[in-house]
Amino acid sequence: MLTITQALADQIVAHARQDHPDEACGVIAGPAGSDRPERFIPMLNAAMSPTFYEFDSGDLLKLYREMDDRDEEPVVIYHSHTATEAYPSRTDISYANEPGAHYVLVSTADTDGLGDFQFRSYRIVEGEVTEEEVKVVQAY
């Protein structure tokens, strides 16, 4: 289960809205071993595409060095889908290389008749996708 603050969930959705119609992407870092997302880090979608996201390799290297220096790890890796439901694509699954991370997808398309902004979380380990419950809290 992903436990995340309302403030962080709101920041992810705001980033998805801001970058629409392109996919938004980013990371929420947390203390190593804590499974607690704390530091919101929006990233640039280097692909600048409505159907694909890609972290800039230089930005990603800088981020991982910074997290290492702060004894953090990527707790949440998020991105948006602009025309499809919030479910990992084959490409998303192939790029998922953090088995301990929660992969959050936000859809900016109304694909289920329930309105915009589906907010869903998955674990992706060795190509296996498992949806997990999301618990939104005011504070940890």
Which residues of the chain, if any, have pLDDT below 70?
110-116
8 Å CB contact between 106 and 136 = no
Summarize pLDDT for 24-64 with one digit per residue, the tens: 999 999 999 999 999 999 999 999 999 999 999 999 999 99
Nearest Cα neighbor of 120 from 129, 128, 51 is 129
What pLDDT, on the 0 to 100 scale, is given for residue 106? 95
8 Å CB contact between 40 and 10 = no
* Cα distance between residue 136 and residue 106, in whole Å: 15
52: β partners = none
8 Å CB contact between 81 and 105 = yes
What pLDDT, on the 0 to 100 scale, is given for residue 109? 80
Q: Which two tokens stand for residue 30?
A: 């947390």
